[in-house]
Chain A
Amino acid sequence: MFKTYSLYRLLPYLQRYRFKLFYGAACLLVTNVFALAQPWILKKVIDSLSLEITTEKLLFYSGLVVGFSFAEGLFRFLMRRILIGVSRYIEYDLRNDFFAHMEKLSLSFFHRMKTGDLMSRSTNDLGAVRMVLGPGIMYSMNTLVISTVATILLFSISWRLTLIALLPLVFVSICVKKFGEEIHKRFDKIQEQYAEISAKAQENLSGIRVVKAYAREESEIRSFETLNRLYVQKALALVRVSGAFHPLLGLLLGFSSVALLWIGGRQVIEHRMTLGDMVAFMGYLAMLIWPTIALGWVVNIFQRGAASMSRMLRIWDTVPEIRDGDDLAPVDRISGEIEFCHLTFSYEPGQAPALKDINLQIPQGATLAIVGKTGAGKSTLVNLILRIYDPPPGALLVDGVPVERIPLAVLRSHIGYVPQETFLFSDTVKENMAFGVAQGDPQEVERVAKVADIYDDVMSFPNHFDTLVGERGITLSGGQKQRTAIARALLTDPRILILDDALSSVDTYTEEKILRGLSAVMRQRTTILISHRISTVKRADHIIVLDEGRIVEQGRHEDLLTLGGLYAELNKKQLLEEELAEF
């Protein structure tokens, strides 16, 4: 009936809870036995009332109703806990697995996919799948049991009445299914319009300066009004359908009651059926209402769940591009020697290379500085060392081993990286600094904070190292963020330290201080410094100037100055800037 193949992928998860599912199904069965017995008791009561009946007998029947109801309630309780519970457990498993899978995916994947899309896979789509596992499965079973048994019982009372009274119920199922689809469709349209209104408002509020500068407020209000009016129209288009849904169900179910009254009443009058039968009939009919509604609903749940599952699978089935290969070298320690051998790299095959014929050797413990314009390939160079992207095989060696043959975890755990754009997590300062280590020893954290010259800043925060940063905490300045990121990298005690333009937001005075503090740290490790500032790089053992992916100048500070090229030009400009600041 519909494509559910994507849902087969849920089977291993269901398998894990097969015993629970079995108990749940058993409870469901028992629940319905007790539930279905109750109209029968009423029938007995009504029928016996026409005869002589003792008070004891009445008390017995009423006790039976309460007792059965209690038993029914008990098993219904167990059924809901087990069956709906399983769906929550599976949701939990799925969500964990999905997150773990995302953690394995390469960064190029995250550049390709929109965050919003990934979010909606792990929230909305997962929710739709959960609906299949919980209510979907439970109500399918429930509907099956009740409708089978109740229909048999109804037939046993009067087959003719059953046929007539059940006819409207068939329409109820169809109605729920059809209406469900139509409502969903119209609801999507509303959501689209809603998104448009939001987009309009968002755009207007973000561009309010242009709106005001051109005095366009009135026309903006008018165009918002148009969208707003359309929204009302679409919302009412939904109400036109959804508003009919419940009254229509009521009408259809009412038809059953009228049929029962007419035909049932006639049969009672003609003594072909007792009054008790009629009352029991009413009871069973009422019990069938929910399963028939649920039937149409369940079909829609399965359809949506299957669509959501296949959307999730598109991510699930993505194989990480960067991962440990089969041909791993037995490396568990890195000392920090780096070598580029005629490395040429482009992001996409066929694209112009971002790095061209890079030949470079960085001895262990040396400091390399890279300068160059935006887009010259500086960050690309260090990204390759980190294997954020894969270099061509054999072109990049660390400790003489091609990087792609070093276990990813070993490689990265020996590199301390301060990225160009600082990303901190909404956590405490301390947690952020201890991000790369298993246990953040407070003394160690303080030590690196001092080296990164962030210690005094942190001590001025309300809760010192326990201060939350980000949306829920304090907002750090660009320089504070960068210095926190430096502390974070230092705390991992790396063999290779990479600072990608990591001091751009701090003033020259602070920069000087940090560099002085770092010099002791840098002496023992291979360091790569990327910077726009001559002051940052001038003390490096070796400086390379990148331009359009090529090394165009290299040497020590003094050598490059005498060369009179790009580096010397950059130096002159910075002297000018310093002079300007003096004015």
Chain B
Amino acid sequence: MTEHYDDHIMGKAYDGQMMRRLLGYLRPYGRHVALAIVLIILISALKIIGPYLTKIAIDRYIAAADLAGLGKLGLIYLAILVALFGLEYLQTFLLNSIGQRVMYDLRMQIFSHTQKLDVAYFDRTPVGRMMTRITSDVDALNELFTSGVVTIFGDIVNLSGIILALFLMNYRLAGLVFSVLPLIILVTLIFKIKVRENYRQVRKLIARMNSFLQESITGMMVIQIFGREPRKFQHFESINKDHLDANLQAILYYALFYPGIELLSAVSIGLVIWYGGGQVVLGAMTLGALVAFLQYSERFFQPISDLTEKYNILQTAMASAERIFTLLDTPSAIATPAEPISPAQAKGAIEFHRVWFAYKDENWVLRDISFAVKEGERLAIVGATGSGKTTLINLLTRFYDVPRGEILVDGINIKQMDLYDLRRRFSVVLQDVFLFSGTVESNIRLYDENITLEQVREAASLVHLDRFIDRLPKGYEEEVRERGSSFSVGEKQLLSFARALAFDPRILILDEATSSVDTETEILIQDAIQQLMKGRTSIVIAHRLSTIQDADRIIVLHKGTIRETGTHQELLAQRGIYHRLYQLQYKEQYGRRPHVTNVPSVE
């Protein structure tokens, strides 16, 4: 809903290169497009035949009192009407289904592309902006395909058909009538330009009003506490007033335009009566032709108006296309190399070798980090907030590439490995558990068909999630909505553990959540972590006393460097950073260490 201001680039209405690229999306449906064009030409031709039939009816049959002929003509007209109905329906459906298919293709292409983009791109691009590409920008292109590219043929045929018919009936009168045509075009063009400007102004004001409203609603506490209601109201009123004025302006344009067009067609009718009437009296023109002239005179306007509208559609579409193509042309900095190397054995050994990393420029978050984790080893990382713990994990899973140094998994530099292959070796449990809408089951196996329901259940049972699931009315099929708002913090954590376990990784990466849970759940979580680490290499950013006590080795990160390494007891004895961190973060948990035997058995 909130549109970004930089998303309002209004570029040129036509860009050949971009148009060619856009039309490329129509290529798979080429035959349908061709058929749609044929249909629309046919329809436009049939549509302008009505007044001509009237002429024939008057001149040939009514004048000659030929009832049978009149009946036949009526039948022809009826046949045309029925045919028009069928053709028009077919054409609309055809055009829309082409449009929808192209939209489908585009959406798939954009979405698939976003999946390939690197995490750094997501860091700097608001989700809302990417959403706009998939939603409203694609819609703008739909407009181009359904009411732009193809229908233009219909309007041209329509207008030229009318012109031709009039010339055939009486070229002198036709010439006279056409004298209002330039005026109609001029008035329409002016109107469209004015209305477009006004429309943009109104959109802008609506956007401003909406963001003002949104801000006022979210900031209502501050407004009320500072007693700012009257002045916020005044401000709102002034935007509202601008909006009113802009709309009144629009009303003015419309109120002027339609009567104006009617007046112009009245002028052409006047011309038909005056000159045409004279011609009829002189016998130079039939009465039927006169009536047909009268009817055609009122039909100029529609195709002209439609044609001028195309400019708007084109301009909006070009702006959207530009934004979409910019996204599609953004390469991913992190991708699988052309010839990936797969480690001979999937053991789960990790090595950081003199790794440096900065998110921006030279603001090093990690400096010269070296350590190795052996197969099956349990490594705990501790450190104060901002010491670089999470970054370490982000590098290991190649969310970011290291500019200096290298990271090896099972002896191979991770940059040389297949990206999916690399990531499948890990199960990552992040602090904020992210649940997708779907079911409990789908959140555990994340739609991976290689994971059987049995495995899902087994994983859930090992991490003690099953006792929660059993309480849910629909069990594993229970719906998960809005990021799992109906689940408690503890349940969400256990669910993410089950997810990690179901993928049965060689390496477990766990960023322990700091949020506190009740004692019973805490006991379950601690036991679940034990289950998770069993038989695999693990790296844990520890927030639990039990985790650091059980670790084979602890690394103390401080301001981006490794300052201390050792076991819990060794590090405590050093009386350095760890000793203080311990007192600060972990000591209170003393005495809450559960005994695994205390875990209530599964009833």
Residues of A within 8 A of B (CB): 38, 42, 45-46, 49-50, 52-53, 55, 58-59, 61-63, 65-66, 68-70, 72-74, 76-78, 80-81, 84-85, 88-89, 91-92, 95-96, 99-100, 102-105, 107, 110, 115-116, 118-119, 122-123, 194, 197-199, 201-217, 219-225, 228-229, 231-232, 235-236, 239-240, 243-244, 246-248, 250-251, 254-255, 257-258, 261-262, 265-266, 268-269, 275, 279, 282, 386, 388, 409, 412-413, 415, 417, 419, 423, 425-426, 435-436, 438, 471-472, 488, 492, 573, 576-577, 579-580, 583
Contacts and interface: CB of A to CB of B under 8 A. Distances in A.
21 contacts: A49-B290, A62-B277, A77-B259, A99-B213, A110-B217, A119-B213, A119-B217, A204-B436, A209-B399, A209-B430, A216-B446, A231-B104, A232-B101, A239-B93, A279-B294, A388-B221, A419-B222, A471-B2, A471-B211, A573-B584, A577-B384
Contact of A62 (B78, B134, B274, B295): B274
A128 to B, nearest CB: 15
Interface stretch (B157-165, B232-240, B342-350, B520-528): B232-240
Interface in B219-256: 219-229, 231-233, 236-237, 240-241, 243-244, 247-248, 251-252, 254-256
A388 B219 CA distance: 13
A437 to B, nearest CB: 9
Interface in B47-75: 50, 53-54, 57-58, 61-62, 65, 67, 70-71, 73-74
Contacts of B5: 471-472
Interface in B75-93: 77-78, 81-82, 84-86, 88-89, 92-93
Contacts of A261: 53-54, 57, 70, 73-74, 77
B240 A580 contact: no
Given A85-B251, A436-B228, A214 B503 contact: yes
B583 interface: yes
Contacts of B223: 103
A265 B447 contact: no
Interface residues of B, number: 134
Contacts of B244: 88-89, 91-92
B464 to A, nearest CB: 21
A65 B92 contact: no
A214 B57 contact: no
Contact of B277 (A58, A88, A216, A228): A58
Given A61-B273, A217-B116, A423-B221, A46 B287 contact: yes
If over half of A's interface residues share one DSSP class (helix, strand or loop), that class is named, otherwise mixed; here it is helix
B401 to A, nearest CB: 14
Contact of A213 (B108, B210, B294, B423): B423
B325 to A, nearest CB: 18
A202 B119 contact: no
Given A66-B263, A580-B580, A583-B577, A236 B100 contact: yes
Given A49-B281, A199-B437, A412-B224, A212 B217 contact: no
Nearest to A581: B384
A86 to B, nearest CB: 10
Given A96-B237, A202-B127, A262 B71 contact: yes
A66 to B, nearest CB: 5
A207 B232 CA distance: 37
A488 B1 CA distance: 30
A65 B448 contact: no
Interface stretch (B264-272, B304-312, B353-361, B538-546): B264-272
A250 B100 contact: no
Contact of B96 (A69, A235, A265): A235
Given A61-B277, A194-B135, A419-B221, 14 more contacts: A62-B277, A63-B270, A70-B266, A76-B255, A80-B251, A110-B217, A203-B437, A207-B436, A209-B434, A214-B427, A221-B111, A239-B93, A268-B62, A423-B219
B201 to A, nearest CB: 14
A33 B489 CA distance: 72
A275 B420 contact: no
B535 interface: no
Given A66-B263, A77-B259, A197 B270 contact: no
B260 interface: yes
A275 B61 CA distance: 12
A577 B584 CA distance: 8
The 6 closest A-B pairs by CB, nearest first: A73-B259, A69-B266, A62-B270, A243-B92, A254-B81, A436-B226
A426 B71 CA distance: 72
B455 interface: no
B227 A214 contact: no
A553 to B, nearest CB: 18
Contacts of B559: 583
B243 to A, nearest CB: 8
Contact of A72 (B259, B273, B281): B259
Nearest to B280: A49
B291 interface: yes
Contacts of B130: 201, 205
Nearest to A221: B112
B417 to A, nearest CB: 12
Contacts of A65: 266, 269-270, 273
Nearest to B106: A228
B62 to A, nearest CB: 5
- By CB atoms of chain A within 10 A, which of B73, B82, B222, B278 has the most? B222
A224 B108 contact: yes
A583 B558 contact: yes
A147 B371 CA distance: 88
Contacts of A194: 135
Contact of A202 (B131, B252, B256, B424): B131
A77 B255 contact: yes
B171 interface: no
Contact of A247 (B84, B227, B237, B248): B84
A80 B255 contact: yes
Contact of B240 (A80, A95, A488): A95
A123 B255 contact: no
A265 B62 contact: yes
B224 A103 contact: yes
A99 B233 contact: yes
Interface in B142-168: none
B326 interface: no
B54 A81 contact: no
A581 to B, nearest CB: 8
B262 interface: yes
Contacts of B57: 261, 265
